[in-house]
Amino acid sequence: MPTPTLLPKAFFNRDVHAVAPDLIGASLLFNGVGGLIVEVEAYHHTDPAAHSYGGPTVRNAVMFGPPGYAYVYRSYGVHWCVNFVCEPKGSASAVLLRALQPTTGLPAMRRRRGVADDRLLCSGPGKLCEALGVTGKHGGLPLDRAPFALHARAEDLPIVVGPRIGITKAADLPWRYGLAGSRYLSKPFR
């Protein structure tokens, strides 16, 4: 097994469309619990679907900060969703984590989620945060140290792209990236 490489902040200091596919297959642990990233979506400040579209607010302030930090927001008033901020400071782009293949800390994830089926633990942005225990208080934390632990994938993987999920604006842009054939996606790719 090759020694995994811990992702430095510089990894995120690139175009969001370069970072997003490179995250597929990477491993994400949060307080020692997590798995392999199998699905993400890219958002950019010129993108009408992005929270940063239209300028900084209290909620999206982290997106306008430096890359390599976590932007966490509440979705539909109920769920937490986590993003990785990308590109040079100020461009307000981010990658939304949508699904993981669970590998580590399965008992903790099953307990938090209240389900036993591995495929239901992290197959969606809200589920993923619940399984890992990520909440709003973790917004703004750096991604290159605890409680986060991100490692680059060891080899190239087949990546598929498609339109993003659950949005109404710019819904046709193919800015969703996934691991081809994964059983752990929030939804299959067409």
Partner DNA sequence: TATGAGATCAACT
Partner DNA sequence: GTTGATCTCATAC
Nearest-angstrom CA–CA distance, 70 and 143: 7
Residue 113 found at the interface with DNA (CB under 7 A)? yes
Nearest-angstrom CA–CA distance, 167 and 170: 8
Find the angle CA(39)-CA(43)-CA(47) to the nearest 5 degrees.
145
Stretch in the footprint of DNA (CB under 7 A) among 20-28, 113-121, 140-148, 154-162: 113-121
48-67: contacts with DNA (CB under 7 A): 49-52, 54-55, 57-59, 63
Nearest-angstrom CA–CA distance, 41 and 159: 13
Q: How far is the CB of 90 from DNA (least distance, A)?
A: 15
Tokens of 40: 């993400």
66-105: contacts with DNA (CB under 7 A): 71, 73-79, 81, 83, 94, 96
Residue 137 found at the interface with DNA (CB under 7 A)? no
Residues contributing to the site for DNA (CB under 7 A): 41, 43, 49-52, 54-55, 57-59, 63, 71, 73-79, 81, 83, 94, 96, 113, 115, 120, 124-128, 164-169, 186
